[in-house]
Amino acid sequence: MATAALADAHAGEHHYTSTGLNSNKIAIWAFIGSECFFFASLISTYLIYKGRSVVGPFPHEAWTDPATGKVMPAILNIPVTSMSTFVLLMSSLFMVLAHSAVVRGDRKYSKIWLLATALAGATFLGFQAFEFTSFVHEGLGLTTNLFGSTFFVLTGFHGAHVTAGVLWLVTLLFIDYKRGLGPRDTINVDICALYWHFVDVVWIAIFALVYLIR
């Protein structure tokens, strides 16, 4: 019992560096900084190979299917992706509201907003699964052409990051239901929120550079 009480007392304890700042928060910012390089490399590869695919499907131009001779439309579905972008942007709003509720110690709204954020993230993943499936049905695979390779790797890695974020949010939600998240958990929720917002800003860049610029 004494051990359990000690463990509980240490649960809310945060570690500080010689800078006076929380070490976990420094670590997440350093991680996010490294992620900038990771996504910049994937975006660079996409942009370098953009327009260099020899065979279709193409992202913004109509193409002729050599097997059937049919003219096929451009493969990117902007209305669907716009919807998923809107959902991800709203998830960032839900996340700041969840964080705000945890800071206030409002257990009811922390649960509601964390659940809303996780659901919005899952909805975004649903849109991505729909997009990937329809692309495969239209003849675009990972090895079809340069567009397929660079597009699936870039958006696939982003989707993997969103998946990790959703799992993180569900974990926080589980903790909230089990023992309740309060002001002592502010840093833990803050770190999750920073990761989630970063995933959002990466999508803002992908949406502009991959989907909208022809």
Tell me the CA distances in angstroms from 182 to 22, 93, 106, 110, one per residue in order. 18, 20, 8, 9
> Residue 198, interface with other proteins (CB under 8 A)?
yes
Could you tell me if 189 and 99 are in contact, meaning their C-beta atoms sit under 8 angstroms apart?
yes
- Nearer CB in complex with other proteins: 50/158: 50
Footprint of other proteins on 43-82 (CB under 8 A): 43-44, 47-48, 50, 78, 82
Q: State the minimum distance, in angstroms, from the CB of residue 69 to other proteins.
A: 27
Segments in 50-106 forming alpha helices (H): 78-104
Footprint of other proteins on 129-168 (CB under 8 A): none
Binding span for other proteins by CB under 8 A among 18-26, 111-119, 126-134, 138-146: 18-26
DSSP 94: H
Calpha distance 78→35 (Å, rounded) = 26
Of 147, 153, 124, the C-alpha closest to 75 is: 147
> Residue 21, interface with other proteins (CB under 8 A)?
yes
> Residue 185, interface with other proteins (CB under 8 A)?
no
What amino acid occupies position 127?
F
Half-sphere exposure of 189 (CA within 13 A, CB side): 30
- Nearer CB in complex with other proteins: 41/134: 41
Binding span for other proteins by CB under 8 A among 29-37, 132-140, 151-159, 166-174: 29-37
- Nearer CB in complex with other proteins: 89/175: 89
What amino acid occupies position 121?
G
A 10 A CB-CB count for 145 gives 20
Binding span for other proteins by CB under 8 A among 117-125, 164-172, 173-181, 197-205: 197-205
**Member of 106, 136, 149, 197 binding other proteins (CB under 8 A):** 197
Calpha distance 43→202 (Å, rounded) = 10
Q: Which backbone phi and psi does 71 adopt, to 5 degrees?
A: -85, 125
> Residue 187, interface with other proteins (CB under 8 A)?
yes
Calpha distance 212→82 (Å, rounded) = 10
> Residue 174, interface with other proteins (CB under 8 A)?
no
State the DSSP H helix or E strand holding residue 19, giving kind and residue range, or none if neither: none
Residues that bind other proteins (CB under 8 A): 14, 16, 19-22, 25-26, 29-30, 32-34, 36-37, 39-40, 43-44, 47-48, 50, 78, 82, 85-86, 89-90, 92-93, 95-97, 99-100, 103, 183-184, 186-187, 190, 193-194, 197-198, 200-201, 204-205, 207-209, 212-214
